[in-house]
Amino acid sequence: MSGRILSDRVRRSLKREFSRSLMAKIGLFLVVLMVTMATFAPFLAPHDPTQQGLDESNLPPAGVTQTSEEFRMVDGERTTVTVEREGSLEHPLGTDALGRDLFSRVLFGARTSLMVGLFGTLFAVGTGVSVGLTAGYYGGRTDDVLMRFADIMLAFPALVLAIALVGLLGPLTILIPDPFVQLGLVTGMPANFVFPITLTIVVGVVNWVWFARIARGEALSIRQQEYVKAARSLGASDWTILRQHILPNSLTPIIVLATIQVAAIILLESSLSFLGFSGTSLSWGFDIAQGRQYLGTSWWIASMPGLAIVAAVVGINLLGDWLRDALDPGLEGEHGGGM
């Protein structure tokens, strides 16, 4: 098993399941779309997502005409005028209250969601798998202490814990230079990407327990196997056994869970951004919070980023279903938290 993550058998099973399932194809399409959007946002975006223009505020999406009554000062007097706004392809999804282009914001928002989703999951996998393998392999006192700690973590709803941690620790962010802008390939786009560090660590912290439980269970069952005993009698160290025998054999459920967790973490990230705890203003959840004040007049501001979230999470969930069906028919969707 070592050396190659996916065996030929697994590869064949993945292919067979993929060609059979329309849902897997839709899922892959949505995920590829999201990754493309996130990666090439500076090329695809028609405008700088942070550029404001008050004369272009609250423009409806292309093809939609919106009439509203507004107060204007005409000859020094306050009068009500009927304003008609027409959406155009200049701003395909319309603009927000500050005149920022929503399509561009959705593209850049994909970056935040994807980065937090991936790195948050990696953090959770890293922590959870290390703790779980250690607990399961050594057993005894180590196992007791680690798993009691995991119980305490589980005694807390992930979202509540995340809200408390992010809200209290404060939104620490780092600026990552955008390579395309740095190389001069595009101009007029934000030079940096704001990566919410606290948020990413916190979503990992509240989700590692699921991985720890799975890894522990796998380690417990695998360490009794003949080939592990054989390796040990040949003088292999604990570290070698864990790395070469136990980890590769427990990968399947971990990969399936990790896929589903990316979706859960994206939902978690959007919730925390919605509450204003992320520290970045280029995020789907943040835009929904902004649009919440204009539900009566500009329905598109809150709707568009939400549709993006749903599409992304549906895609990842479909991909997760495909992996689960292909890799391990025995697994059911029991794991994962978040909302």
Partner 1 sequence: MSQYQFLIRRGLQGLLVVWGVVTLVFLLRFMTPGSPVDFVAPLDASPELRAQIARNLGLDQPIYVQYAQYLGGLIQGDMGYSYIRGRPASGIIVSRIPATLELAVAATVVAIICSIPLGVLSATRRHQPTDYAATTFSLVGISTPNFWLGIMLIMVVSVGLGILPTSRRPIGLIPAIELLIFQFETVGIRAWIAHMILPAVTLGTYFTAMIVRLTRSGMLDQLGQPYVEAARAKGLPETLVTYKHALRNTMIPIITVLGLQLGSLIGGAVITEFVFNWPGLGTLIIDAIRVRDWPIIQGALIVIGIGFVVINIVVDALYARLNPRVSLE
The contact set with partner 1 (CB under 8 A) reads 148-149, 151-152, 154-160, 163-165, 167-170, 263, 267, 270-271, 274-275, 285, 288, 291-292, 295-296, 299, 302-303, 306, 309-310, 313-314, 317-318, 332-335, 337-339
Q: Is 280 left (phi over 0), alpha (psi -120 to 50) or beta?
A: beta
The least distance separating partner 1 from the CB of residue 44, rounded to whole angstroms, comes to: 23
Q: Which CB, 232 or 335, lies closer to partner 1?
A: 335
The least distance separating partner 1 from the CB of residue 161, rounded to whole angstroms, comes to: 8
Q: Which CB, 255 or 288, lies closer to partner 1?
A: 288
Q: Which CB, 190 or 291, lies closer to partner 1?
A: 291
Question: What is the token pair recorded at 87?
Answer: 């959406």
Distance CA 189, CA 101 (A): 12
Distance CA 145, CA 134 (A): 11
Question: What is the token pair recorded at 235?
Answer: 């003088």
Q: Which CB, 32 or 89, lies closer to partner 1?
A: 32
The least distance separating partner 1 from the CB of residue 153, rounded to whole angstroms, comes to: 9
CA-closest candidate to residue 121, choices 326, 278, 336, 279: 336
CA-closest candidate to residue 283, choices 207, 193, 163: 193
- Reduced to 3 states (helix: H, G, I; strand: E, B; else coil), residue 79 is strand
The least distance separating partner 1 from the CB of residue 46, rounded to whole angstroms, comes to: 24
> Would you tell me how many other CB atoms lie within 10 Å of the CB of residue 54?
9
The least distance separating partner 1 from the CB of residue 138, rounded to whole angstroms, comes to: 22
The least distance separating partner 1 from the CB of residue 51, rounded to whole angstroms, comes to: 25
Q: Which CB, 178 or 325, lies closer to partner 1?
A: 325
Place of tokens 């999951």: 121
Question: What is the token pair recorded at 108?
Answer: 């850049």
The least distance separating partner 1 from the CB of residue 287, rounded to whole angstroms, comes to: 10
Q: Which CB, 228 or 288, lies closer to partner 1?
A: 288
The least distance separating partner 1 from the CB of residue 275, rounded to whole angstroms, comes to: 6
Q: Which CB, 230 or 310, lies closer to partner 1?
A: 310
Q: Which CB, 42 or 204, lies closer to partner 1?
A: 204
Question: What is the token pair recorded at 202?
Answer: 């916190």
CA-closest candidate to residue 294, choices 104, 111, 102: 102
CA-closest candidate to residue 33, choices 325, 308, 282: 308
Dihedral angle sign, alpha carbons of residues 220, 226, 231, 235: positive
Strands 173-177 and 77-86: unpaired
